[in-house]
Amino acid sequence: MQDVFGRKPYLTFLRGKSSPDLVRGEARDGTPIPLEKGRPTCSAYAPGTEADRMLAAAEGLKRTQILVILGAGNPQCFGATRTLLPGQICVVVDHRLALGALYIEESALDSHPFPELEDYLRTPGCHAFFGAESQVSLEHYLEGLPAENFQGIRFLKHRASVDRAPDFYADLEIRMRAILQSRMSDLLTRFEFEPLWLRNTLLNSMHASGPDQPGNLHFWQDRFAGTASALLVSAGPSLTETIPWIQKNKDQFFILACDTALKPLLRAGIRPHGVHILDAQKQTMLHFQGEELGDLIIFADLVCHPSLPIHLRPGGWIFSSTARLIFRPDGSTEELRTPGTDQLEQLCGPQGRLQSGGSVATSAFDLLRFLGFRTIYFAGQDLAWTNRQLHALGTHHYERWNNMVSRKLSLETINERVVQKRDLIPVQSVDGRELSGDFILSLYRSWFEQSIEALRDEDPVQCINLSRGGAFIHGMQNLRLADPDAMPLPTTAIEPGVNEKSKTYDSADYRNVLLNAYGATVSEEKDAIRRALQQIYDQVAGLSANSGNSRARAEQLWQEYPDLRALIRKTEVYISRNQEKLSEDRSNDVYERNLKKTLREFLQFASRYISNTN
């Protein structure tokens, strides 16, 4: 079994976890089976027949469907490998840690009483998880699966095992479905936006800078460690009620606003120290339109629309990229980066990377941690349709809607039409009542909860929710729920000498530190970056202009510039998922047609920026 432990190290913790309540016995037909407190954990007459009946439901599964077997009391269920297609994924889960230990210990014997288990674990894509202690490993495995390789999930239940812990398996099924739905949502998002992220990231390399310059997030890592608290402001409906509290206590925080929350803060006379941008579309400009930004710093993901760094004039720009850390079953990790990041870093050097759950606020939370804050307050983080609204008053959405109001169309009607376009689901509010949420907002909430839980031991962050409305977020303390006028919690300062960057800043100090860093900012390398981008543009244009065998020539271009494959990845995944149905001629036709379309769109957009950016 040593070779199995090498490829699936999460099984090693089963060693030495056996229990006297679980031993190996025999069924009436002589088949080895586990006995739990003297009673068989599966059929005592014909466990093979029982397993065959259960596995019969797996017949007809597609290669891209995941098979999950709930309950491993019958060792014959590991014979599922006989029904799997090459490359298909199968996961067996059981609530008993000691059962997994028994299987592992017995498999190490010379008699090999459970050969099906050994064959199963040696099969690529087949995994087994035992006990509640293995759930983190299971979740990491599911989150690390390439979503383009699966189209669904099928659960089979070993009834004798499931009946011993029904709540465990019911909760497990819900969690697994939620993770895979999240992965599919992430895949669809990437399909929709990867070409846009790629083009924006490449074009924004003309505004990026090296890690020793203030325009690079690396320059600011832990710069504010040991200082006072940070306040992250989102634009949820509860922000309207929270703004008076922020006005009263604003000098006690480093204030970072999500882009949607900027206008409501400025209308209330609150000037944040920074604003965070994540969205890649040009509509982001609406959050800043008509506002004076000279004393603000814009923290922007490199996927932001390239027109923003050209037209907006804040006190400074600090760029970063998004990366998602994936945990592999073999214990390794992989960083999933935004397309274009690797190419940009070849031109500009390493960029600071942030984890993101998909929303501006999730990235902004990781940004504050990157800056060194360990006490973070949240305002307007509703993650629900509080009072059947999605945004606080004063956002650009209301500015736009106000222009649509007429005698026949009220503001309330406009808002209600927006609500009715979403599939609402009930969620628990901060005060214990029920309010409306939706699937996307629940994904964001789950990201916060999982992040806070993961940070609890390795890098504790105190998270304090100021909102008196919105969804309840596990791991956050609700400060103002009982007392709307509650004062900020005292911050435990780091003693001088423990951290050389430790210092007590007030609101003005934060602003001065940020703005003064830009006094000597220079950018001598823009011409070299522009020439490199022009070379990429010319090669893409050459591929677009020449007809015939473009698929082979595209592969050559992808090898030279791997990030450019994002332009055609959606089509490649479609062909891979439907390879049984597509002939070679049809596959080539689909590829050529979509390649021509995506190259044309890329060139039309990029041509407006590469040669005209100063």
- What digits encode the pLDDT tens for the residues 574-586? 888 787 788 888 9
Could you give the CA distance from residue 370 to residue 364 in angstroms, rounded to a whole number?
10
Of 83-92, 98-107, 296-305, 500-509, the one with minimum mean pLDDT is 500-509
Decide if 489 contacts 464 (C-beta within 8 A). Answer: yes
Instruction: State the burial class of residue 111 (Cβ atoms within 10 Å of its Cβ: 0-12, 13-18, 19+).
Output: exposed
Decide if 147 contacts 187 (C-beta within 8 A). Answer: yes
**Strand order across the beta sheet in which 22-26 lies:** 22-26, 32-36, 39-40
Could you give the CA distance from residue 264 to residue 273 in angstroms, rounded to a whole number?
15
Determine which helix (DSSP H) or strand (DSSP E) holds 369, and give its type and residue range.
helix 360-371
**Among residues 320, 361, 300, which one has the least CA distance to residue 221?**
320
Instruction: Please check the confidence at residue 368 and state whether its pLDDT lies above 60.
Output: yes
* Bridge partners (DSSP) listed for residue 229: 253
- Band of residue 179 on the pLDDT scale cut at 50, 70, 90: confident
For the segment 504-522, the average pLDDT, to the nearest whole number, is 74
For the segment 130-151, the average pLDDT, to the nearest whole number, is 81
For the segment 97-113, the average pLDDT, to the nearest whole number, is 85
Tokens matching residue 586: 């049809």
Residue of 218 and 141 predicted with greater confidence: 218
Instruction: Please check the confidence at residue 278 and state whether its pLDDT lies above 90.
Output: yes
For the segment 269-288, the average pLDDT, to the nearest whole number, is 93
Determine which helix (DSSP H) or strand (DSSP E) holds 343, and give its type and residue range.
helix 341-348
Which amino acid does the sequence have at 494? I
Tokens matching residue 88: 């298909």
Q: What is the DSSP string of 501-539?
A: T-----HHHHHHHHHHTTTT---TTHHHHHHHHHHHHHH
How many angstroms separate the most distant Cα atoms in the chain? Answer: 85
Exposure pattern of 403-426 as b/e (b: 16+ CB <10 Å)?
Answer: eeeeeeeeeeebbeebeeeeebee
Could you give the CA distance from residue 91 to residue 140 in angstroms, rounded to a whole number?
13
Q: In terms of residues, how long is the chain?
A: 614
Tokens matching residue 527: 């011409």
Q: Express each pLDDT in 558-567 by its tens digit.
A: 999 999 999 9
Model pLDDT, residue 524: 55
Decide if 22 contacts 35 (C-beta within 8 A). Answer: yes
- Cα of 50 vs its chain's centroid, Å: 40
Give me the chain's average pLDDT, please: 87
Q: Express each pLDDT in 468-484 by its tens digit.
A: 999 999 999 999 999 99
Model pLDDT, residue 33: 92
- Cα of 531 vs its chain's centroid, Å: 34
Spatial neighbors of 154 by CB under 8 A, at least 6 apart, are 57, 58, 61, 65, 66, 67, 68
Could you give the CA distance from residue 228 to residue 117 in angstroms, rounded to a whole number?
55
Decide if 253 contacts 230 (C-beta within 8 A). Answer: yes
Of 263-277, 378-392, 451-465, 485-499, the one with minimum mean pLDDT is 485-499
Instruction: Please check the confidence at residue 504 and state whether its pLDDT lies above 80.
Output: no
Spatial neighbors of 371 by CB under 8 A, at least 6 apart, are 220, 221, 222, 223, 224, 225, 230, 254
Decide if 206 contacts 529 (C-beta within 8 A). Answer: yes
Of 335-349, 371-385, 505-519, the one with minimum mean pLDDT is 505-519
Decide if 288 contacts 263 (C-beta within 8 A). Answer: no
- Cα of 171 vs its chain's centroid, Å: 21
Instruction: Please check the confidence at residue 268 and state whether its pLDDT lies above 70.
Output: yes
Could you give the CA distance from residue 558 to residue 181 in angstroms, rounded to a whole number?
30
Model pLDDT, residue 548: 66
Tokens matching residue 131: 């006990």
Please state whether 327 falls in left (phi above 0), alpha (psi between -120 and 50) or beta. Answer: beta
For the segment 535-540, the average pLDDT, to the nearest whole number, is 91
Model pLDDT, residue 500: 41
- Band of residue 307 on the pLDDT scale cut at 50, 70, 90: very high
Model pLDDT, residue 494: 40
Instruction: Please check the confidence at residue 521 and state whether its pLDDT lies above 50.
Output: no
Rg over CA atoms, the chain:
28
Tokens matching residue 212: 């020793």
Q: Up-side HSE of residue 527: CA atoms within 13 Å toward CB?
A: 1
Decide if 102 contacts 22 (C-beta within 8 A). Answer: yes
Instruction: Please check the confidence at residue 371 and state whether its pLDDT lies above 70.
Output: yes
- Band of residue 497 on the pLDDT scale cut at 50, 70, 90: very low
Instruction: Please check the confidence at residue 495 and state whether its pLDDT lies above 60.
Output: no
Model pLDDT, residue 491: 66
- Band of residue 499 on the pLDDT scale cut at 50, 70, 90: very low
Q: Express each pLDDT in 78-104 by its tens digit.
A: 998 888 888 888 999 999 999 999 998
Single pTM value for the model = 0.80
**Among residues 513, 246, 249, which one has the least CA distance to residue 371?**
513
User: CA dihedral defined by 502, 506, 508, 511, rounded to 10 degrees?
Assistant: 40
For the segment 265-294, the average pLDDT, to the nearest whole number, is 93
Spatial neighbors of 140 by CB under 8 A, at least 6 apart, are 327, 329
- Band of residue 498 on the pLDDT scale cut at 50, 70, 90: very low
Model pLDDT, residue 197: 93
Tokens matching residue 302: 């490199």
Model pLDDT, residue 519: 56
Could you give the CA distance from residue 277 to residue 390 in angstroms, rounded to a whole number?
19
* Bridge partners (DSSP) listed for residue 254: 230
Q: Express each pLDDT in 314-360 by its tens digit.
A: 999 999 999 877 766 555 677 788 899 999 998 888 888 998 888 99
Alpha helices in 145-252 (DSSP H): 159-162, 166-204, 239-249
For the segment 543-559, the average pLDDT, to the nearest whole number, is 84
Model pLDDT, residue 297: 94
**Among residues 280, 279, 321, 273, which one has the least CA distance to residue 298?**
273
Could you give the CA distance from residue 499 to residue 68 in angstroms, rounded to a whole number?
49
Model pLDDT, residue 332: 65
Could you give the CA distance from residue 131 to residue 11 in angstroms, rounded to a whole number?
11
Spatial neighbors of 88 by CB under 8 A, at least 6 apart, are 61, 63, 64, 65, 66, 67, 125
Spatial neighbors of 522 by CB under 8 A, at least 6 apart, are 213
Decide if 609 contacts 533 (C-beta within 8 A). Answer: no
Residue of 339 and 498 predicted with greater confidence: 339
Cα separations in angstroms, 77 against 58, 82, 135, 419: 12, 10, 20, 46
Looking at residue 192, what DSSP letter applies? Answer: H
Instruction: Please check the confidence at residue 304 and state whether its pLDDT lies above 90.
Output: yes
